[in-house]
C-alpha cells in the first residue's frame, strides 16, 4: 500500500527493520521465529491469550450470573480502539495529514493488520488492560461506595501503573518507535511522550470506565437486566463517548500547551498528579476500612483478573530483567543499537503500585456469598 507510506512512517519502518511498501495487506502472518527479537512473540502470546481469557470469563459471567459488565467493557474497549487508531495510522486517508503526522510505527509481529500498522496484540491489549484495571477497582468495592467518577479515576490510576510497565520498555526492545520530531509527541519523558504517559495510560481508561459503569455497571449493581439489543447499542455508545472523553479530559494540557512543550508537559504532569492523589487516597482508605471491617465488604470477585494480573507482572518483570544489561550500558539514553531507554525508576514505582493493587484484592474480607458462587437467578447481581 505504497500510496499510504508517508515519509515519516517509511522512515520509522526502516529504522525498525521492515519496508513500508512491502508490508503485507489487510492481514499478514509471519513466523514467530522471524521477528526482530525473542521478546516480540512473548509479548504477543501474553497479551493475546490474556484478552481471549478475559473475553471467555466475561461471557461466563453473563451466562452464569446475568452480569454483562465485563463483556461490555471488553467490546467497549475494542470499539474505542477502532475509533482512535485508524486515523493515527492513515492520517492522509482521513484528511487530517495537515494537522496530524504519523506519531509512531509498530514493529511487525506474527499477526498484523492494515499493511503493517496494526499488530493483533494491540487489538488485544485494549480490552485486556481495561479488564484488569476495572476488575481490581470493582473488587475493592470502590464504585459501589464512591460512585462512578471516583471509581473511574481509580481505574485510570491502576491502568496507568500496568500500562507504563509496558510503555517504558517497548521502544528499547523495538516493539514500536515514536516519531520524536512530531510536535504532538513533545515533550518526551525519556523514551515515552508525555501524551502517552497521561492520555493513553490514564485518561482514556478513566473515560472508558466512567462510560461502562454509568451506562451498564451501576444498573447491574441495582439488579437491572439488559436485552441483547440494549447491550449492543450501549456498547457502541460507550466506545464513541469514551473517545470523546479522551479528547475532553486532556483539554487543559492541549489548550495551555500551545504556550510551549514545557508548559504542556507541566500541565500533563499536574493532571496525572491530581488523578494519582485522588485514587491513592481513596484506594488506601477503602482498603484500610475494609480490613478494619468499618466498610461493607465487597461482594464481587474476579479470579481471572487476580490470576492473570500476577502472570502479567511476572512476564514483564522477566522482560525488564532481560533488558537491563543493555539498559545500564546505554549512553545518552540510547543502547548500543541506537534504541531509546525508558525510565527505570518510574517503571519500578508502577510495578509497586500494580503489585499492591493486586495484593489488596486478596487481602480484603468478602461477604459469604459472591457472584462467583451465587445462584444466577438471584434478584440482585452484586457489583
Tens of pLDDT, residue by residue, the chain (383 residues) = 455 678 888 889 888 988 887 777 889 999 999 999 999 999 999 999 999 999 999 999 999 889 999 999 999 999 999 888 888 787 776 777 666 778 899 999 999 998 888 999 999 999 999 999 999 999 999 999 999 999 999 999 999 999 999 999 999 999 999 999 888 899 999 999 999 999 999 999 999 999 999 999 999 988 888 988 999 999 999 999 999 988 899 888 888 988 899 999 999 999 999 999 999 999 999 999 999 887 777 778 899 999 999 999 999 999 999 999 999 999 999 999 999 999 999 999 999 999 999 999 999 987 644 444 333 333 333 34
CA nearest 41: which of 30, 55, 54?
30
* Sequence-ordered list of residues with C-beta below 8 angstroms from that of 150, at least 6 positions apart, any chain: 142, 278, 282
Distance between CA atoms of residues 35 and 64, nearest Å: 41
Q: 95's torsion region: left (phi>0), alpha (psi -120 to 50) or beta? A: left
Distance between CA atoms of residues 274 and 280, nearest Å: 10
* Sequence-ordered list of residues with C-beta below 8 angstroms from that of 109, at least 6 positions apart, any chain: 30, 35, 40, 41, 44, 119, 120, 121
Distance between CA atoms of residues 158 and 203, nearest Å: 11
* Grid cell locating 11: 522512515
Distance between CA atoms of residues 111 and 119, nearest Å: 6
Is it true that the peptide bond before 152 is cis, omega within 30 degrees of 0? no
Distance between CA atoms of residues 357 and 163, nearest Å: 14
For residue 23, the model assigns a pLDDT of: 76
Helices within 7-104 (DSSP H only): 7-16, 39-65, 69-89
Q: Where are the domains of the chain?
A: 39-87+120-362
* Grid cell locating 160: 496507568
Q: Are 136 and 358 in contact (CB under 8 A)?
A: yes
Using CA of residue 151, residue 69, residue 309, residue 110, what is the dihedral sign? Answer: negative
Q: Are 327 and 345 in contact (CB under 8 A)?
A: no
Distance between CA atoms of residues 43 and 337, nearest Å: 20
Distance between CA atoms of residues 352 and 354, nearest Å: 6
The per-residue DSSP string of 196-208 comes to IIIIIIIIHHHHH
Question: Parallel, antiparallel, or unpaired: how do β-strands 188-189 and 192-193 relate?
Answer: antiparallel
Q: How far is CA 72 from the centre of its chain?
A: 16
Q: CA angle, 374 as apex, 372 and 379 as ends, to 5°?
A: 125
* Sequence-ordered list of residues with C-beta below 8 angstroms from that of 231, at least 6 positions apart, any chain: 68, 71, 72, 216
Amino acid at each position: 500500500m505504497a500510496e499510504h507510506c508517508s515519509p515519516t512512517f517509511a522512515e520509522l519502518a526502516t529504522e525498525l527493520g521492515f519496508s513500508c511498501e512491502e508490508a503485507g495487506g489487510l492481514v499478514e502472518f509471519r513466523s514467530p521465529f522471524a521477528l526482530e527479537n525473542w521478546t516480540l512473540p512473548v509479548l504477543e502470546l501474553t497479551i493475546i491469550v490474556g484478552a481471549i481469557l478475559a473475553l471467555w470469563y466475561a461471557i461466563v459471567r453473563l451466562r452464569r450470573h446475568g452480569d454483562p459488565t465485563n463483556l461490555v467493557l471488553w467490546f467497549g474497549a475494542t470499539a474505542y480502539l477502532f475509533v482512535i487508531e485508524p486515523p493515527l495510522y492513515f492520517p492522509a486517508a482521513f484528511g487530517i495529514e495537515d494537522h496530524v503526522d504519523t506519531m509512531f510505527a509498530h514493529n511487525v509481529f506474527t499477526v498484523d493488520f492494515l499493511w503493517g500498522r496494526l499488530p493483533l496484540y494491540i487489538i488485544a491489549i485494549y480490552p485486556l488492560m481495561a479488564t484488569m484495571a476495572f476488575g481490581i477497582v470493582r473488587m475493592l468495592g470502590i464504585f459501589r461506595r464512591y460512585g462512578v467518577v471516583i471509581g473511574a479515576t481509580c481505574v485510570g490510576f491502576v491502568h496507568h501503573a500496568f500500562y507504563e510497565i509496558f510503555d517504558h520498555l517497548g521502544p528499547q526492545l523495538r516493539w514500536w518507535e515514536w516519531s520524536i520530531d512530531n510536535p504532538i509527541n513533545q515533550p518526551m519523558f525519556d523514551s515515552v511522550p508525555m501524551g502517552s504517559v497521561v492520555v493513553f495510560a490514564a485518561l482514556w481508561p478513566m473515560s472508558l470506565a466512567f462510560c461502562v459503569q454509568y451506562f451498564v455497571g451501576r444498573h447491574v449493581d441495582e439488579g437491572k437486566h439488559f436485552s441483547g439489543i440494549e447491550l449492543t447499542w450501549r456498547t457502541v455508545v460507550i466506545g464513541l463517548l469514551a473517545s470523546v472523553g479522551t479528547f475532553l479530559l486532556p483539554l487543559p494540557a492541549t489548550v495551555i500547551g500551545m504556550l510551549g512543550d514545557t508548559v504542556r508537559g507541566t500541565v500533563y504532569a499536574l493532571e496525572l498528579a491530581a488523578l494519582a492523589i485522588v485514587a491513592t487516597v481513596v484506594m488506601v482508605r477503602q482498603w484500610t476500612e475494609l480490613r478494619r471491617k468499618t466498610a461493607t465488604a465487597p461482594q464481587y470477585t474476579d479470579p481471572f483478573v487476580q490470576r492473570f494480573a500476577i502472570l502479567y507482572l511476572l512476564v514483564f518483570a522477566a522482560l525488564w530483567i532481560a533488558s537491563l544489561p543493555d539498559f545500564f550500558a546505554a549512553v545518552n539514553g540510547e543502547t548500543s543499537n541506537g534504541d531509546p531507554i525508558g525510565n527505570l525508576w518510574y517503571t519500578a514505582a508502577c510495578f509497586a503500585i500494580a503489585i499492591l493493587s493486586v495484593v489488596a484484592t486478596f487481602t480484603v474480607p468478602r461477604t459469604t456469598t459472591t457472584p462467583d458462587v451465587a445462584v444466577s437467578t438471584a434478584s440482585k447481581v452484586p457489583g
